[in-house]
Structure 1
Amino acid sequence: MKEVIPVRRKHRKRIRLARFVVLLLFILIISGTIVAFGDNFSNREGSAISPRTVGSENTQSSIGPEPSPSSDQTVTPSHNKIFYNGTSEGKKVALTFDDGPDTIATPKILDILKENGIKATFFIVGTQAEAHPDMVRRIEEEGHAIGNHSWSHPHFDKMTKEEALQQIDDVQEQLKSIIGYSPSMVRPPYGALTKDEEKAIHEKGLDIVNWSVDTMDWSGASAKKIMELVHEELYPGGIILQHCFGGKDHLSNTIEALEQMIPELQEQGYTFVSVPELLGIPDKL
């Protein structure tokens, strides 16, 4: 029996050692699985697409892959889409005025805005800026946002891409010579442009801004009709289209409607802001 005891002890030690080795291997396998899973999870989290600001159901979005940067390529736009309105959070609204400036309607509009402490956005035509640089300066000095509305107000969708871009570039240079910077926003005349033009404008780092409320003021619609359209089409985050040059009777209907619109919308709880503030985009390049 004295000979048997050491053998059994050796056997037990071997069993314990084998169990220990198996347990160690099991722990190593589990640890490796956890690390691999954690790395995979982290990679998925890190590669998630960044959220973009999207307006209401009327916002046309062309979200897609960002253009690949190169040494001579222009900057990426703030948002790769066309804006028609802002978000519905808060009762904010943006007043916009196209086609100017002039020396008849534009000063009256600026006076009303100043009296009410409101900042609006003016989409300027190049020929008008060239003719009335002092009025452009007044718009900028009084704190309003400025956008590009083409050089001569043509139909972009009936032009070549190169012609449309030249219209935009000419206004950018003209405005920079007057106010010292080029705007970051473009509103195509009539809100129309081709997909190729849209892409090319975005590749210049410019945001495209249209509207959600068309007051039809240029057509001679009465102040009453303008207000009816505003009440029918406006919702929080809306962008109202009006004009500060052209139209019938020097836009006297626009002036009359604006004097009614501001207090009425304020009574409804709306706050007037510029387009860049409404959309959260830069106001200049």
Structure 2
Amino acid sequence: MKKDQLPPGRRSVLRIAACLGATAAGSLLVGERAETPGRGPAGGAAAGPQAAVRPPKATSYRLRPLAAYAAPALRRARPPVRRRPFLEIPDMGRAMVLTFDDGPDPRYTPDILGILREYGVRAMFFVCGEMATDNRDLLREMADDGHVVGNHTWSHPLVPKLPPSRIRDQLGRTSEVIEKSLGEAPLWYRAPYGAWNKHSFEIGAELGMEPLGWTLDTLDWTRPGTSTIVRRVLRGAAPGVVVLSHDAGGNRSQSVAALRRYLPELLDEGYRITVPRR
């Protein structure tokens, strides 16, 4: 196409915000326009066997009413709900964050994990629930290697076109899969296509997550060629930059090959490849 609230026992999002500092300025609608599992580039239905995606079922995940007769209602998040996502990670020195959206995909995610493991670096994977539910072993491999697993909704819809109840289903159901697989719910989420709205920020906050966008879009979903992806990353490299790539949603062989080339070059240039502190 692949980065909030506080039930008992969860780490406070305040600790995250304290580490990250002020939210970076930027547009709330960033044109990712990537392919999605079972969908076309702009969110339209795709032909073929993957087109019939089962809609997410209603869930009460982390939004259970206080009484049996009470309807689930959003509660004001603390700290106050953000109005825009983080677009970069400040105050981390000469560090960059690599992120991969839309997986996990057994065709490409294992190779990406292997390259990251070879160089001893950690990254962030924003997973779609419909992919994660069938590839929980890859979720566990991500976590075991120290990577951050984030929420990228269930089926990669255009969030601003959904009513709040559907946004809640998309995020809540995916968080539930991640928590059941890893024993810990995600602390970060990313809107498909970078399209956020007020409801997505509020509901994400209710589920205990911070919103993360990106600074540098590799546009790898267009399959522009391995060398072009490498050139975009190296030219855009800078402290605090968040790089957007994909490990699913289409043929990601160029994304894998590009990572193998630009990662050692970034390290040779003195960049630390890391993830936000929690």
Give the TM-score normalised by structure 1.
0.70
* Separation in 2, partners of 1:51, 1:113: 24
Partner in structure 1 of residue 111 of structure 2: 108
Q: How do residues 137-176 of structure 1 correspond to structure 2 at under 5 angstroms?
A: 137-176=140-179
Q: Aligned AA for 2:238?
A: Y
Instruction: Please state how far the C-alpha of 1:242 moved relative to its aligned partner.
Output: 0.8
* Separation in 1, partners of 2:24, 2:98: 18
Instruction: Please state how far the C-alpha of 1:214 moved relative to its aligned partner.
Output: 0.6
Instruction: Please state how far the C-alpha of 1:108 moved relative to its aligned partner.
Output: 0.3
Match of 2:238 among 218, 226, 235: 235
* Separation in 1, partners of 2:231, 2:117: 25
The secondary structure found in structure 2 opposite 1:82 is coil
* Separation in 1, partners of 2:19, 2:218: 33
Quickly say closer, same or farther: Cα 1:125–1:52, change in 2 above 3 A.
Answer: closer
Corresponding pairs, count: 216
Contact 1:184–1:207 (8 Å) recurs in 2: yes
Give the TM-score normalised by structure 2.
0.71
Partner in structure 2 of residue 53 of structure 1: 21
Partner in structure 1 of residue 268 of structure 2: 267
* Separation in 2, partners of 1:51, 1:132: 31
* Separation in 2, partners of 1:169, 1:247: 25
Instruction: Please state how far the C-alpha of 1:195 moved relative to its aligned partner.
Output: 2.2
Q: How do residues 182-193 of structure 1 correspond to structure 2 at under 5 angstroms?
A: 182-193=185-196
Q: Aligned AA for 1:268?
A: E
The secondary structure found in structure 1 opposite 2:96 is strand
Instruction: Please state how far the C-alpha of 1:234 moved relative to its aligned partner.
Output: 2.8
Match of 1:210 among 213, 221, 226: 213
Write 1 or 2 for the structure with the bigger share of helix: 1
The percentage of counterpart residues that share the same residue type is 32
* Separation in 1, partners of 2:121, 2:20: 28
The secondary structure found in structure 1 opposite 2:248 is coil
* Separation in 2, partners of 1:229, 1:242: 11
Instruction: Please state how far the C-alpha of 1:202 moved relative to its aligned partner.
Output: 2.5
Instruction: Please state how far the C-alpha of 1:135 moved relative to its aligned partner.
Output: 1.1
Match of 1:132 among 93, 110, 135: 135
Quickly say closer, same or farther: Cα 1:57–1:235, change in 2 above 3 A.
Answer: farther
Quickly say closer, same or farther: Cα 1:229–1:78, change in 2 above 3 A.
Answer: farther
Instruction: Please state how far the C-alpha of 1:103 moved relative to its aligned partner.
Output: 1.0
Instruction: Please state how far the C-alpha of 1:208 moved relative to its aligned partner.
Output: 0.3
Residue ranges of structure 2 left out of the alignment (5+ in a row): 1-17, 29-65, 67-72
Instruction: Please state how far the C-alpha of 1:224 moved relative to its aligned partner.
Output: 1.0
Q: Aligned AA for 1:156?
A: V
Find out whether 1:118 has 2:121 as its counterpart: yes
* Separation in 2, partners of 1:180, 1:140: 10
* Separation in 2, partners of 1:52, 1:255: 29
The secondary structure found in structure 1 opposite 2:177 is helix
Find out whether 1:76 has 2:44 as its counterpart: no
Q: Aligned AA for 1:124?
A: V
Contact 1:147–1:185 (8 Å) recurs in 2: yes
Quickly say closer, same or farther: Cα 1:126–1:77, change in 2 above 3 A.
Answer: farther
Quickly say closer, same or farther: Cα 1:162–1:241, change in 2 above 3 A.
Answer: same
Instruction: Please state how far the C-alpha of 1:79 moved relative to its aligned partner.
Output: 7.5
Contact 2:81–2:201 (8 Å) recurs in 1: no
* Separation in 2, partners of 1:194, 1:56: 17
Q: Which structure has the higher relative contact order (CA within 8 Å, separation 6+)?
A: 2
Please identify, of 50-59 and 201-210, the stretch whose mean Cα deviation from structure 2 is larger: 50-59
Q: Aligned AA for 2:245?
A: Q
The secondary structure found in structure 2 opposite 1:83 is coil
Contact 2:175–2:186 (8 Å) recurs in 1: yes
The secondary structure found in structure 2 opposite 1:168 is helix
Instruction: Please state how far the C-alpha of 1:245 moved relative to its aligned partner.
Output: 1.1
Instruction: Please state how far the C-alpha of 1:77 moved relative to its aligned partner.
Output: 4.5
Q: Aligned AA for 2:78?
A: T
Residue ranges of structure 1 left out of the alignment (5+ in a row): 1-49, 61-70
